[in-house]
Amino acid sequence: MNPMSTITTTIPLVEPWFPPAYADAVRDQVLSGFIGPGRATQEFAAALALFVGAERAVATVSGTVALTAAAKALRLEPGDEILVPAYGVISTINGFASAGLRPRLVDIDAKTGCLSPDGVAEAITERTRAVCFVNFSGYTGDNLTEIVTLCADRRLHLVEDAACALGHRHADRAAGTFGTVGTFSFSVPKVLTTGQGGAVVARDPVVLDRAAAYIDHGDLEWRRTNINRAIGTNLRFTDLQASLGLCQLHDIDARLERRRRSHAALRVRLGSRLYAVPGTEAPLHNIVFTSAPDALVSALKARGVTAVRQYRTISQHPAYRELADRPFPAADCWTDRAVYLPFGMAMTPDDAARVADAIRDADVPLEELGSA
């Protein structure tokens, strides 16, 4: 285990990695007497934009809110249809549904966990205004570039939910920069975490200004003019979060390398039975597939390894039951077979070896479903 974290007998699902210097930076920000949002937030947004190759970035309180801000910035209206993946974290669809949009589910590709271009093409109707591509666990590949072209041809907005993909690249571009708008998340499981937090990036400065205005009461000039010209809300980042985030952006290469090393150690032992993504970076999650997921989770728990069945087909949630208007076989397959192993930033190659040994000792057969 990471020597800077509390030693436990159980390997947790997610454990962050915070060297002491990070705490010093947050302490210095507190002692400065200004906790923002202010200069540190501006520096964090600028450093993030530089890292992903965007002109600007707008920081906000979560990845979910970043999606809502993206929709507002694109001037999507209540009732507009947006296509979203039928499997994954509830945050994506909530970011749009909470703004009054009408999400429509599209099945994922069983090998990638992402939307497939063919699936999106078949799902587009005259009511569709936008598509949300989720770089599932960091997956950033040809499927995304094909959907970029498809959306351009159909004159649809593309929202790229790159919450899990910071640091991933494809075709000489960073994840988050392929869509009309891209979003990131800085929640605890991510390679870069500020506890909660998110960001919006876009090519069009007007779109970015709209996003920034939405999260600051609707008007970027209201503090100077004492007049609000639009309706927004207060969803701003803080300098405390930014001070923690800046440390991690400065260390981002080392952080990505930690993730690569632990994933590689696990892949050496599990081979193609471990989910993988294209490119040089590791996926955010360590995922295996089995026809007996509950048995595997229980067996790993008995061996001091935390594992979970993390996500499910979105229409299985009561709030979205009405979206089950067609079958989603690939999403259901992931729901029924995917097991998420420990994947936190504090995880070491030794931890990975222990996880692999626990899987071997559990004697629950794994499948190769979902490997890239």
Last residue of a domain, one of 249, 265, 282: 249
Amino acid identity of residue 26, one-letter, is: V
292 & 224 share domain: no
Last residue of a domain, one of 202, 229, 249: 249
pLDDT band at 248 (very low <50, low <70, confident <90, very high): very high
Q: Is a pLDDT exceeding 80 seen at residue 8?
A: no
2 within some domain: no
174 & 50 share domain: yes
337 within some domain: yes
Q: Is a pLDDT exceeding 90 seen at residue 6?
A: no
CATH number of the structural domain spanning residue 324: 3.90.1150.10
181 & 264 share domain: no
pLDDT more than 90, % of the chain: 95
The interaxial angle of helices 63-73 and 90-97, nearest 10 deg, is: 40
231 within some domain: yes
Instruction: List the beta strands (DSSP E) in 46-162.
Output: 57-60, 81-85, 87-88, 102-106, 128-134, 157-161
191 & 290 share domain: no
**DSSP bridge partners of 202:** 181
Amino acid identity of residue 329, one-letter, is: P
pLDDT band at 369 (very low <50, low <70, confident <90, very high): confident
Per the prediction, the chain carries an average pLDDT of: 95
117 & 213 share domain: yes
372 within some domain: no
pLDDT band at 145 (very low <50, low <70, confident <90, very high): very high
243 & 259 share domain: no
5 within some domain: no
What is the reported pLDDT for 9? Answer: 83
How many CB atoms are closer than 10 A to CB 339? 23
> What phi and psi values does residue 160 have, to the nearest 5 degrees?
-100, 110
3-state helix, strand, coil in the chain (%, to 5): 40, 15, 40
Distances, alpha carbon 217 to alpha carbons 213, 231, 235, in Å: 6, 6, 8
| Distance of alpha carbon 323 from alpha carbon 136, whole angstroms | 21
Among residues 267, 64, 309, the alpha carbon closest in space to that of 183 is found at 64
Give the residue numbers spanning the domain of 90.
20-249
* pLDDT tens digits, one per residue of 308-322: 999 999 999 999 999
273 within some domain: yes
CATH number of the structural domain spanning residue 227: 3.40.640.10
341 & 290 share domain: yes
367 within some domain: no
Burial of 343 (0-12, 13-18, 19+ CB in 10 A): buried
Among residues 102, 100, 103, 171, the alpha carbon closest in space to that of 134 is found at 103
Q: Is a pLDDT exceeding 70 seen at residue 371?
A: no
305 & 337 share domain: yes
- Say how many residues make up the chain: 372
177 & 225 share domain: yes
81 & 200 share domain: yes
61 & 201 share domain: yes
| Distance of alpha carbon 112 from alpha carbon 283, whole angstroms | 11
* pLDDT tens digits, one per residue of 151-160: 999 999 999 9
**Residue 357 is encoded by which pair of tokens?**
């040994």
217 & 262 share domain: no
pTM for the full predicted model? 0.95
- Report how many domains make up the chain: 2
pLDDT band at 372 (very low <50, low <70, confident <90, very high): very low
219 within some domain: yes
* pLDDT tens digits, one per residue of 100-137: 999 999 999 999 999 999 999 999 999 999 999 999 99
Last residue of a domain, one of 231, 249, 267: 249
**Residue 350 is encoded by which pair of tokens?**
């030794």
